Amino acid sequence: MKELQINEQIRDREVRLIDSNGDQLGVVPGREAQAIADDRKLDLVKIAPNAKPPVCKIMDYGKHKYEQAKKEKEARKNQKTINTKEIRLTPRIEDHDLNVKSDKAVKFLENGDKVKVTVRFRGRELGHTEVGREVLKQFAELTSEVGVIDKRAKMEGRNMVMFLSPKES
């Protein structure tokens, strides 16, 4: 939250003044605006410093700051963070192991997380990347009920990587 200028920090000759109800009081000298705010036992807050003349509002600054913090906290609470979980496979993975890993991926997808599926190639396996592509294709079919392919299988160094994201319901 950006800090606003309040009370004595405002040094402008003239300001456009708005009272606490939102009514415009017109362009008044800075000292007079401060005096009006002091009479009402409220703060003078510069809300539009770049305007000509700057716009100041009479308000309870502590209350304003509290409400802004409350709004920001509420916005953060409603924000959904998406995590990326990784599952590693090998090109020579057995069917049962693949099923176990796909069940784990299904749980991740149901929780709303993205899944990064990696097939790691070692040694001579690098000459047979089509086997890894088949494993990823089979994995995608096993998780197709809850997930869709976000990014297709692609080689990154010694690994083949594919991203799955949860299906929109």
Q: What does DSSP say about strands 55-59 and 14-18: parallel, antiparallel, or unpaired?
A: parallel
Distance of CA 130 to the CA centre of its chain: 37
5-77 and 84-166 agree in CATH topology: no
Render pLDDT for 96-130 as a digit per residue (tens, 0 to 9): 999 999 999 999 999 889 999 999 999 999 898 99
Q: Which CATH superfamily is domain 5-77 in?
A: Translation initiation factor 3 (IF-3), N-terminal domain (3.10.20.80)
User: What per-residue confidence (pLDDT) applies to 115?
Assistant: 94
User: What per-residue confidence (pLDDT) applies to 47?
Assistant: 87
Question: What residues have CB less than 8 Å from 98, skipping those under 6 apart?
Answer: 89, 135, 138, 139, 142
Read off the pLDDT of each residue in 84-100 and give the average, rounded to a whole number: 94
Across the beta sheet with 114-120, what order do the strands follow?
Answer: 84-89, 114-120, 159-166, 147-156
Domain boundaries of the chain, sorted by first residue = 5-77, 84-166
> Torsion-angle region of residue 41: left (phi > 0), alpha (psi -120 to 50) or beta?
left
User: What per-residue confidence (pLDDT) applies to 52?
Assistant: 86
Q: Which residue has the higher pLDDT, 63 or 5?
A: 63
User: What per-residue confidence (pLDDT) applies to 98?
Assistant: 94
Q: Which CATH number fits domain 84-166: 3.40.50.10420, 3.30.110.10, 3.40.50.1100, 1.10.3720.10?
A: 3.30.110.10
Render pLDDT for 126-161 as a digit per residue (tens, 0 to 9): 898 999 999 999 999 999 999 999 899 999 999 999
User: What per-residue confidence (pLDDT) applies to 2?
Assistant: 62
CA dist 22 and 38 (Å) reads: 17
Reported confidence tier of residue 167, pLDDT bands at 50, 70, 90? confident
Give SS3 for 58.
Answer: strand
Read off the pLDDT of each residue in 58-84 and give the average, rounded to a whole number: 87
Cα distances from 24 to residues 21, 27, 116, in angstroms, run: 9, 9, 57
Among positive and negative, which fits the CA dihedral 137, 140, 145, 151? Answer: negative
Render pLDDT for 8-53 as a digit per residue (tens, 0 to 9): 888 888 889 898 888 888 888 888 888 888 898 998 888 888 888 8
CA dist 132 and 71 (Å) reads: 49
**pTM of structure:** 0.56
Rg for the chain, CA atoms, rounded: 30
